[in-house]
Amino acid sequence: MSSLPVEEQQADVEVERTRWVLNSPNPPSLLQELVSSVKETIFPYRSKLTSSSPKQPRSRVAVSVLQGLFPILSWARNYKASKFKKDLMAGLTLASLCIPQSIGYANLAKLDPQYGLYTSVVPPLIYALMGSSREIAIGPVAVVSLLLSSMITKLEDPITDPVAYRKLVFTVTFFAGAFQAVFGLLRLGFLVDFLSHAAIVGFMGGAAIVIGLQQLKGLLGISHFTTKTDVVSVLEAVFRSFHHPEAIAVGRTFASIKGYHIDGNKEMVAMGFMNIAGSLTSCYVATGSFSRTAVNFSAGCETVVSNIVMAITVLVSLELLTRLLYFTPIAILASIILSALPGLIDLNEAYNIYKVDKLDFLACIGAFFGVLFASVEIGLLTAVTISFAKIILDSIRPGTEVLGRLPETDTFCDIKQYPMAIRIPGVSIIRIDSGLLCFANANFIRERIMRWVIEEGTEEIVIGKVHMVVLDLSNVMNIDTSGIQALEELHKNLVRLGIELAVANPRWKVIHKLKVAKFVDKVEKGRIFLTVSEAADACFSSKIAGPCTSG
């Protein structure tokens, strides 16, 4: 009798926690999420402003907008002379490397040398205003120059009609920047992630070898060189999508060393606008160069002011040294390009990919051999296909784990990973290892759970020990109608066997959709739990009084 109040108090606590789960507010709609994402890009500090008070002066909102579009306004107020000294030296060092490389890469893009130098002036200045990476060095790069010339020479010959060729180059640059700026504003930066790191490593290695072979003509002075063989061709979509993930990856690499984070969407916006501005000032596609960024970092740069110093130095060289640079031998330009290629072939990273993930390594070598022996699009298509196959396989065949409680804790873990975990008598706790319970995997998960219950739990069911199956949905971020239907069928099948179904730790969108679909009413609100531990304790308490019942 004395324990009754304690049991009632515990029951009240469980009911209250169930109400927390079921009475949570509705999640934001798709339109609200889209609008919020755009606001996060344009108003990066507005959430901080609006959290303190409902109304803010228009001037502060305007400052937030300007700081979102031009991050330089945020840190320029605290810029010190000591930082400028380091940025000045880094910028001059960067310019000494950038000037010859820009001329060489312009030659690779089949443009006159001055256009490579233009590309090292305007885009870095625009990025300095809009970019957030402190170390990245903006300008022309070898791979993009190769892709650009390979694509446009199919439409115009740069020798017979150089004016039309240049017009196409600037047009492609404009649209590449426009697409990227729009993608960044719409928070579509995740699209670049479909080109995996392993694919980029393989692509860079294959492209480096192809570029090296093409430069042998200029290095060795070969006057007759066949152009009939389709050495490299490229799809426009590949051109637009490749160089930007590389640039964002370069920025993130060095940002992680310095201990700060950069937003990929903001970087897309900055690089988009810098290429739009570049296309209007006789520049071709610019992006972040890993080799020059490494030099910039090693030279001790503190901010993007090093890009401004580099751009001004290149501009002065354009005014004073153009005539001298005109007589630079082709062999020298070819050797400059060749000197940058070994850094593109990363054997150590390829070996690390092989050790960590064999499917990623397969994507890596697929991109490498595809670019080397077929074409750029074949190499990338192979790598992306393998990567997608891996994603699809993981999505349609997710794992399910049987959980047990670690001794003397309330923590539930996979009994295969933690053999010391103890299964709760009468309760089968199963965790779904998938972020999305959808049409692609719902039936597989339902059949797998039922097969496990029937085949492995037959003996326990016969002797009447299993009373409840608890689904841990902590990993499931979202669910669709097929997933809900699969849960309903699972519930019906378990009821036929005299087993109850409970749901533990459903996420925000999941519990909202389960309520709308009235699935919660079918399994009873008392079988929705905040944690797995509460679900196990609830069934254990029910068994003390009597078997769990569906009523």
* Lowest mean pLDDT across 71-80, 447-456, 542-551: 542-551
Q: Does one domain contain both 497 and 355?
A: no
Q: Does one domain contain both 379 and 403?
A: no
Q: Is residue 49 assigned to a domain?
A: no
Domain end point (choices 357, 392, 427) = 392
The Cα 166–Cα 158 span in angstroms is 8
Q: Does one domain contain both 338 and 421?
A: no
Output the six-digit token pair for 128.
């300095």
Domain end point (choices 367, 392, 417) = 392
pLDDT tier, 390 (very low <50, low <70, confident <90, very high otherwise)? confident
The Cα 233–Cα 148 span in angstroms is 10
Output the six-digit token pair for 451.
């097969």
pLDDT exceeds 80 at position 278: yes
pLDDT for 465: 62
* CATH number for 430: 3.30.750.24
Q: Does one domain contain both 418 and 384?
A: no
pTM over 0.95: no
pLDDT tier, 98 (very low <50, low <70, confident <90, very high otherwise)? confident
Q: Is residue 363 assigned to a domain?
A: yes
Q: Is residue 73 assigned to a domain?
A: no
pLDDT for 67: 77
pLDDT for 392: 87
Q: Does one domain contain both 334 and 228?
A: yes
Strands 412-414 and 399-405: antiparallel
Report the greatest alpha carbon distance in the chain: 103
Q: Is residue 110 assigned to a domain?
A: yes
Q: Is residue 242 assigned to a domain?
A: yes
The Cα 146–Cα 107 span in angstroms is 10
Which of 310, 315, 302, 316 lies closest to 87 in space, CA to CA? Answer: 302
**Residue ranges in 109-190 assigned as alpha helix (H):** 113-119, 122-130, 142-152, 162-185
Q: Do 270 and 131 touch, CB atoms closer than 8 A? A: yes
pLDDT exceeds 70 at position 48: no
User: Which residue has 């933690």 as its token pair?
Assistant: 418
Kindly report the three-state secondary structure assignment for every residue of 193-221. Answer: HHCCHHHHHHHHHHHHHHHHHHHHHHHHC
Q: Is residue 208 assigned to a domain?
A: yes
Q: Is residue 82 assigned to a domain?
A: no
Q: Does one domain contain both 358 and 479?
A: no
DSSP 239-281: HHHHHHHHHHHHHHHHHHHHT----HHHHHHHHHHHHHHHHTT
Q: Do 529 and 410 touch, CB atoms closer than 8 A? A: no
pLDDT tier, 288 (very low <50, low <70, confident <90, very high otherwise)? confident
Domain end point (choices 392, 425, 459) = 392
Say whether 406 sits in a helix, a strand or coil: coil
Cβ contacts of residue 96 below 8 Å, gap of 6+? none
Q: Which residue has the higher pLDDT, 542 or 105?
A: 105
Which of 172, 85, 102, 177 lies closest to 137 in space, CA to CA? Answer: 102
Q: Does one domain contain both 439 and 352?
A: no
Q: Does one domain contain both 482 and 371?
A: no
Q: Does one domain contain both 191 and 273?
A: yes
Q: Is residue 444 assigned to a domain?
A: yes
pLDDT exceeds 80 at position 436: yes
Q: Does one domain contain both 272 and 144?
A: yes
Average pLDDT of the residues in 509-517: 91
Q: Do 457 and 493 touch, CB atoms closer than 8 A? A: no
Number of structural domains the chain divides into? 2
Q: Does one domain contain both 161 and 280?
A: yes
Q: Does one domain contain both 436 and 330?
A: no
Percent of the chain with pLDDT over 90: 24
Domain that includes residue 313, residue range: 94-392
pLDDT tier, 312 (very low <50, low <70, confident <90, very high otherwise)? very high
Output the six-digit token pair for 217.
């003509």
